[in-house]
Structure 1
Amino acid sequence: MDRGGPRRPDSSRKRLSLWGGLYRNPASCTHRVDRINEGSRPPAEPGQTGLRVDLRSKVLLFHRLRGRIASTVALLFLLTSCARSSKPPSSRPGVAQAPVPAVQRSSLGVAVGPRQAFAADACIAFPPAGKDRHRTIFIDAGHGGPDAGATGTASDGKQVQEKTLTLAVGLDLSNQLRRDGYRVVLSRTRDGTVGRTLSGSVTEGAYTPDGVRADLRARVACANSAHARLLISIHFDAFWSPAVGGAQTVYDPRRPFSGQSLHFARLIQRAVLLAFQAHGWDVSDRGVIPDTRLDAPTLSVRGAAYGHLVELGPAKRGWLDHPSLMPGALLEPLFLTDPAEASVARSHVGQEALSGAVARAVREYFSAGSR
């Protein structure tokens, strides 16, 4: 999570055409038809004039008619074939298509809360896939849409964006928790905003400070509307020096349930570090810290005066009238500005290790008697 503010999206990104290269060339069909038409006519016979029809001319007439019939049949066949080949590719299994996260293909998702407050694919609930534990977990994939979050470069030179990685981890975590029997509510299921984008909240492709705060408040509203028992906010970190790295988990110490939030944050931090160690990744322990001690810059003077993270912090009139109503924690397990850590965050193995660690922390949290 880069607290210096959202970055403008890279305007040089290439856009891939959905159907590019999948249609056949219609001109090839035309050429084949032309060749058949050109070759279907027998050469004209000299001396064939008037109504003189002898045996030889009858034979020629028969061959001519037979050639035209064959030509017509071939023409109809090719036109039918070309018409079929010009249709879009089938979506049946076996046809190569871009992968879509499983939770997005599910027809089980149900919109949560007042829809005028949320974007179309935001604040969606998914039922448990295992034995129902009758508990709801809110998962927030940080950033999204015009807010790319932190950016970095992996060891192979590939660029990474925080909003893409948080969504990948969040979707995988959702699937794991559902298998464990939890109802899961996702703040976002695609690269987009959570709240509806208001006029003036985006300038030159990036959020204004008020736009950022409005979208964060929409995430809080989603968690409250879902009646979640736990709030999990997924982020990654960044710094100007690539030598800085490590994992940390954040909680808020000024809430009635701060003790539960601290307990959950410690479980996350421990599980994440153990997962990294199991894979042989050397990621330093930056600890569990209160959001009041975050030393990163804020987006505005009012934000600095508030002194908390919006998703975790207490109410403040005019700034956050309706705070989150459940224990929660924000994890920043890796620095995207450290190429080695960015490579872990970008890999499927790294994302599965992270989501598995957080799922383990959730199980431990509730098994210890937390309500």
Structure 2
Amino acid sequence: MPLWSRAQQQDFRSRVRGCLLGGAIGDALGAGVEFEPLEKIRAQHGPQGVTGYVPAYGRTGAVTDDTQLSLFTVDGLIRAHIRRDTGSWHPPTDLHLAYLRWAATQRDWGPDERRPDLGWLGREEWLYAQRAPGQGCLTGLSGPDGERLGTLERPKNPHSKASGTVVRAAPFGLLTTWEPGLVFQLAVECSVLTHGHPTGYLAAGALAVIVQSVARGGTLEEGVHLALALLSERQAHEETTAALRAALDAVRAGEPSAERVEALGEGWVAEEALAIAVYCALVAHDVRSGLLLAVNHSGDSDSTGAICGNLLGVLHGDTALPPGLVAGLEGRGAILELADDFALELMHGTELHDRHTPEGADWAARYPVAH
């Protein structure tokens, strides 16, 4: 475990908070216009499209399954990190269990108090809401095959590359002490738990590496080029590589616009969602402008907004997020709590794992792992 200076701890926590909160804000901005064509968005909300939260799922600031899945990804990563001390180390297993806990929120009325494995996040009642969950995620985690661990050799939904595989991948990039190749591989192995098409899982790996590069203090451009280098070593990388290169080309093409966004696709599939989000983050003058560009288009607005928010949040930190959007966000308190727990685990995990201390017992109850 590396020693973190005070400044490094503050920077890391701010970037983790920014990544998770930014993703949720982008998700919520797009939630009310997902499925709507650009012409209708402009007709209803003005020539600039949406400029803030609009009602979705009975409220403003509502998040979707994209944020739900990202939060359970973080929960799974914390538990995987804890499990290293038990001598049992296989992060994809912990992530699979985390996604199964998410799947339970999509079919149960509320948390089952008979399940000690839920931890604190699984007992958050606001997460027990269906917010247009992707079919790939639902089918990959339910039915007779739901308990099976998807692998690269035998993935779930082998023909699916829907955006649900990439919207939950940003947290892997917050493992800043890992080698980039290992972060890429972990995101890939956790993608095939529900989506098995190479473009889907390679897009997830690419996003994780971009986030990690930025979380370490690099630029977005450096992260994209590192992702392209790692993609070039993989079979069937062509679609993901072409999408990222198209995003870079669009940056150089002229003034940002919704039309340039739409030229990159609609975002329903992983490589298009990634390309749109990367483009919008690269051309953003500030966080708000980048997020609004990412959601005002005909397509998967919440997913592209979420990924763009992950990128801009990890780049600038939580204090750069628009205060009004932070204040109106559903689940803000829980998201911040989870972000801070993740930062604590990564920076001070060994101090938290002694179950014989009151603090260690509390941590074990928050993030229970089987022994």
Q: TM-score, normalised by structure 2?
A: 0.28
Q: TM-score, normalised by structure 1?
A: 0.28
Higher relative contact order (CA 8 A, sep 6+): 2
